[in-house]
Amino acid sequence: MVTQIVRTSILSYKSNGPQVFAYLPVRRKWQRETLLGWLQNRLMTTSKRVQDRSTTKRVQDLEIVTEKWKIVSKVKAVMEILNEEPETIIPVRNLERHRIKINLPKPHKISDFLRKSPKLFELYKDQRGVLWCGMTKEAEDLVEEEGRLIEEHSEKVAEYVTRCLMMSVDRRLRLDKIANFRRDFGLPVDFRDKWVHRYPELFKVVKLVDEVSYLELVSWNPDWAITQLEKRVLGVNESSNHQPGMLSLSFPLRFPSNYKKVYRHREKIDHFQKRSYLSPYADAKGLTAGSLEFDKRAVAIMHELLSFTLEKRLVTDHLTHFRTEFVMPQKLMRLLLKHMGIFYVSERGKRFSVFLTEAYEGQELIEKCPLVVWKEKLLSLVGYREKKKKILTFGDLSDLEDSALIESSSEHENMSMHFGHEDTMVGVEDALLADNDEMNIGEIGLAGWNSEKS
């Protein structure tokens, strides 16, 4: 009887409502509630998806930070491609095969993307009308500066990679998985071929039966088996006799300023904070998946990994690749969303990012390493407000060279060859072409202006 009524009612809504309702099975008795109300209740679930999160739990400042670093990532990808070319120039049409690396989806044009940064990229047409792209002198100087900073940071990142191996169950990690952390840790571009062989006293490359390259720990360093949280809370830095074991430390918490329901969960939060857990550097083979200690240790591992990164931020996909090696739960996203005071998950773009909330004050990273300062410098040179500039042709370049020789004025040459500083947008308003599901330029600029004003 119920099935007959539902089928008739659904057919009556067929012209106005979605047809998918006609295929939903009915497995409960008909009550006084209307059919439409019952269907709505049926489809609404207590999902742990990021998209289902209420707006009061969103941190606008960190959403803006995500947009800023996505812009930097796209620009850096182009600069890396150009730097690998013999003459550091490339036909724009050849950049099409690097769309995935640049992360610039269609229908956005790469030429339009490059025009957005005249302080970094130069465009010109040759005698055949082929459009070429190269780096400006300022961009080339930035590439050289980044190389020096990465070299200076090499010792520290070697420590972080070693500590990742110490946290893993088998003391080894796949090399292609570590590659996902290259930009986040500050590893050089050629780290697979050269860098991994620079520290034979720490780790080595091995190939197992599956012919896959692994990075394996060579020697255990007890001084590095101390978590960042232990160093901060207990003040422990080095201890030759330190043995990782059970810990009972509280994680720093930072909730959104407009989130007023923290007091409702205060008892659960306190219970979690007081719970003991196994150190990320201790042997976790005996832990039972799903136990309370298991979950808190997983939180500690994610806290440690995020502490290693330059911006205290990671793409969540990169974390999920290490669930087996670090003994973490399969539903890692649920754990991140559950502990929103420790972590914040941004849903901007096609891939989510997770932040360590304690590391940020508004949009600003509290402790900035030189590589982060370098990225901010790069971001300040991205974007413009004025109309598109005319692309110089081969003939125009020749005329400019002749006039420079005749007038021999460096000031005139500067004005002819480069765009003015007033064309450059500074700060977060420099947003380039973004994905369709990302924040638009006006929204970013308004949010950044409001933040500065407050």
* Contacts (Cβ under 8 Å, ≥6 apart) of 304: 163, 167, 227, 228, 229, 280
Amino acid at residue number 252: P
* Nearest-angstrom CA–CA distance, 438 and 174: 32
pLDDT (0 to 100) of residue 160: 96
pLDDT (0 to 100) of residue 13: 39
pLDDT (0 to 100) of residue 293: 83
Please give the distance of CA 257 from its chain centroid, rounded to a whole number: 23
* Nearest-angstrom CA–CA distance, 92 and 104: 14
pLDDT (0 to 100) of residue 126: 87
pLDDT (0 to 100) of residue 409: 39
Which residues in the chain land under pLDDT 50?
1-47, 385-387, 394, 397-454
Q: Are 451 and 360 in contact (CB under 8 A)?
A: no
The tally of CA atoms less than 13 A away on the side-chain side of residue 291 is 13
pLDDT (0 to 100) of residue 359: 95
pLDDT (0 to 100) of residue 91: 94
* Contacts (Cβ under 8 Å, ≥6 apart) of 219: 201, 202
pLDDT (0 to 100) of residue 301: 95
